Chain A
Amino acid sequence: MNDKHTLTCIVCPKSCRLYVENTGSGMQITGYGCKRGLEYANEEIRESRRMLTATVTVRNGNLPRLPVISSAPIPRRLFDACLRELSMVVVKAPVKLGQVIVRDIQKTGVDIVASRSLTKREG
């Protein structure tokens, strides 16, 4: 039985439509315009990953939220768990750009780091 679905490649603006078919002997990928598209499709099939960006609570900073970013793409199926963990994080100002906020989040091997520096609130 063949199982076919489509994905859109997001590597470059061409946005090729990729076709993934689960043939009896494995995954067949067509439609890619270049090698990077094929790589992307393989990655997506194996495990769809994305960069995670969010904000976390800051105490005593010149802003109430600190923007953060994952150090590498994270499997999408773990997003909810990661966001839940991040919603419980409280960081104390000052913060430096790149500072690790959560190490190895949800055992992904990926860190969550500060996207900016934040100074202590004045006064």
Chain B
Amino acid sequence: MSIKNASVDVAVIGGGPAGLAAALAAKEAGADQVLVIERDFELGGILQQCVHDGFGILKFGERLPGPAYMERYIDAVSQRDIKVMVDSMVLELTSDRTLYVASPIEGLVEVRAKAVVLAMGCRERTRSQIWLPGTRPAGIYTAGTVQRYINMEGILPGHKVVILGSGDVGLIMARRLTLIGTEVEGVYEVMSKPGGLTRNIVQCLEDYNIPLYLSHTVIDIHGEKRLTGVTVAKVDADRRPLPGTERFISCDTLVLSVGLIPENELSYDAGVELHPVTGGPVVDECMATSLPGVFAAGNVVAVFDLVDYVSDIGEIAGRAAARYAAGESNDGPAIKLNPGANVNFVLPQVVHPIHLTEPVAFYLRVKESKESANVFVKSGSALIKQVPQIVVRPPEMVSFVLTPTEISRAGNFDLIVSVE
């Protein structure tokens, strides 16, 4: 078998919420050949394993479980003439938009795409990346992997669990593990504030009397073959363990919920410019990356907390990809959006004021919590927009909109976005 060849207008890498929204939008915008390449056995992405509810409040006005949210998109995709490859892995993406795809049905396929949408999502930060000392036994898992085992493979990882990290994934898993009969000894969080939504602290920890230990971390792992326990300790403001606070906890499973990393290996190798803070591509208002014809959407751009936003920017990317494939371009002068006080990052990081016909939604994360805060968008000292917020917290992305008129007031100058 020699390499199969295929030519498409829009190739979407990843069949999760961002990818499917992009594919549908691309089709809607007139792209003829739209292909979605998904490495799992079915479409849906990470939401397939998120059996809890809460998805789609903004988009559908409902609190759907993950698979139900995705089924709407999966059904829509099957009703349109969108080509899908599952169990298929993109091995390489070149800078001129050629994809090499390994498929157990089609073989090795070289796909030449007029436009590409990157929608590969995230991977999880590992034990080694947080420099956790100790032995290397069986029984150490990242939260997403445990979620997959429980919810899709039907496997219980262990009987007594310690969870490190109080982000939403960790909190959701604390509840899930408890509901299937595992004992969750506690959730340990190295920061002094919880990493996830307060409603998840209530519904996942307080409801089940699972203790949350802030300013604590795991400092050692025990057990040669299977985990026998961990040592936890309180930490100081610099996250260093305080001597004398060490405590051994007997357990057979350690679940790590210590962060998500946008999965940009393909992007990096193709030459896409990545942002040092988000870990994802630098994008403009069309979700275009620095590589012509390559767009990006979803968690591959930055870690989002609302799938509704992911679907929104998926649509934007898909539409823009279709237009690019049809020969339209978005060149022109660009201005940057830079993070100011209390802003970790804002995206898109770039806008082209001249081409704007519609308002642009921006997304940012703050560094510190604040009540009664305001998002300030300034150009130099001129205030372009002020958007009041009831409360801002690092785990909750803030979204605001700028109209073309508002953006044009910046002229050629970059915008600074701060939250104070």
Residues of A within 8 A of B (CB): 7-8, 10, 12-15, 48, 50-51, 53-55, 57, 62-65, 67-69, 76, 79, 83, 97, 115-117
Contact = CB atoms under 8 A, between A and B. Distances in A.
B336 interface: no
B63 A51 contact: yes
B199 interface: yes
7 closest cross-chain pairs (CB), A and B: A116-B67, A15-B198, A10-B199, A67-B51, A115-B65, A64-B154, A65-B154
Contact of A55 (B53, B64, B151): B151
Interface stretch (B25-33, B202-210, B216-224): B202-210
Contacts of B51: 53-55, 67-69, 115
A100 to B, nearest CB: 14
B105 interface: no
A53 B197 contact: no
Interface residues of B, number: 32
B237 interface: no
A95 to B, nearest CB: 11
A107 to B, nearest CB: 20
Contacts of B65: 53, 67, 69, 115-116
A10 B203 contact: yes
B198 A8 contact: yes
B152 interface: yes
A13 B200 CA distance: 11
A8 B390 contact: no
Which of B41, B150, B202 neighbours the largest number of chain A CB atoms within 10 Å of its CB? B202
A8 B201 contact: yes
Nearest to B52: A53
B153 interface: yes
A116 B71 contact: yes
19 contacts: A8-B206, A10-B198, A10-B202, A10-B203, A12-B390, A13-B198, A15-B391, A51-B53, A51-B63, A53-B53, A64-B153, A64-B154, A65-B153, A67-B66, A67-B151, A68-B51, A79-B179, A115-B65, A115-B67
Contacts of B396: 13
A83 B198 CA distance: 25
Nearest to A10: B199
Contacts of B393: 13
B269 interface: no
B173 to A, nearest CB: 13
A102 B313 CA distance: 37
A14 B391 contact: yes
A67 B198 CA distance: 25
Interface string B379-415: 0000000000011010010000000000000000000
Contacts of B198: 8, 10, 13, 15
Nearest to A12: B390
A93 B245 CA distance: 52
Which of A15, A65, A83, A115 neighbours the largest number of chain B CB atoms within 10 Å of its CB? A115
B152 A83 contact: no
A79 B179 CA distance: 9
B67 A67 contact: yes
Contacts of B390: 12-14
Interface in B39-72: 41-42, 48, 51-53, 63-68, 70-71
Contacts of B151: 55, 65, 67
A71 to B, nearest CB: 11
B52 A65 contact: no
A76 B208 CA distance: 10
Contacts of A97: 67-68, 71
A15 B52 contact: no
Contacts of B202: 7-8, 10
Nearest to B44: A116
Which of A13, A48, A54, A62 neighbours the largest number of chain B CB atoms within 10 Å of its CB? A13
Nearest to A11: B199
B292 to A, nearest CB: 38
A63 B152 contact: yes
Contacts of B63: 51
A13 B67 contact: no
A96 to B, nearest CB: 10
B213 to A, nearest CB: 18
Contacts of B53: 51, 53, 69
